[in-house]
A = this chain, B = another copy of it.
């Protein structure tokens, strides 16, 4: 279930919070929370509350206008929509978040935003970073800009819609409500009672695999990643795989 603006408004009215954390995109349920509306509610209801957004599985695949939304801290990692190996965490902090960091006396060292910022303005880092991934990021950002951000976002939307449409046409409903469906991962109720491990064994012969449902949703749902460098052609191949699996 998505976090609705009303749920958030009620919570903020009931109690004061220093910060609100929002997961933009839930890979287990395939829910994309309405981050713009949620941010608006925070600004209207509790203006001094900081907004921290986990965009781990969406940044680079879905547009997030940090400044327009008034997000104070936006976090992602390298191995999702940026399509790099894991190992890097990337974040952006608002002026307000930096100001707040100044008031924190025990910031530690490894995650001290002020220390990071001090080095960032010298085009440096406080510690030796994972250089292979920095080089890879530099290369991949050029590729992402070459594709174009709008084109990249449109591709993610088209891929996820294609998977959703195919599943619905074959009698399986996405778990999330229509207005909250993720564009980077599609989580579908396993209404046809597919044997997911048998499906993956079949898909493996074509060098593909999907993910089983997570935790309690195991075998009750399955998940298709529609992110990163996956193309519409890849999605077509996967759906063809689904169709052939059904014929068996």
A136's closest neighbor in chain B, by CB? B132
The one of B87, B110, B111, B128 that contacts A130, using a Cβ cutoff of 8 Å: B87
Number of identical monomers bound together in the oligomeric complex:
2
**A97-130: contact bitstring with B at CB < 8 Å (1 yes, 0 no)?**
0000000000010110000000000000000111
Per the bound structure, the CA–CA distance linking A107 and B128 in Å amounts to 24
A87's closest neighbor in chain B, by CB? B130
A56's closest neighbor in chain B, by CB? B128
Asked if A154 CB lies within 8 Å of chain B CBs, one says no
Per the bound structure, the CA–CA distance linking A77 and B128 in Å amounts to 10
Asked if A246 CB lies within 8 Å of chain B CBs, one says no
Asked if A133 CB lies within 8 Å of chain B CBs, one says yes
Per the bound structure, the CA–CA distance linking A130 and B108 in Å amounts to 22
Asked if A169 CB lies within 8 Å of chain B CBs, one says no
A77's closest neighbor in chain B, by CB? B128
Asked if A86 CB lies within 8 Å of chain B CBs, one says yes
Asked if A131 CB lies within 8 Å of chain B CBs, one says yes
Asked if A85 CB lies within 8 Å of chain B CBs, one says yes
A110 proximity list for chain B (CB < 8 A): 110-111
8 A-B residue pairs with CB within 8 Å: A85-B132, A86-B128, A86-B129, A86-B131, A87-B87, A87-B130, A87-B131, A87-B132
Q: Lowest 5 A-B CB distances belong to which pairs?
A: A87-B130, A86-B128, A85-B132, A85-B131, A86-B131
Task: Give residues in A with beta carbon < 8 Å to B.
Answer: 77, 79, 85-88, 108, 110-111, 128-133
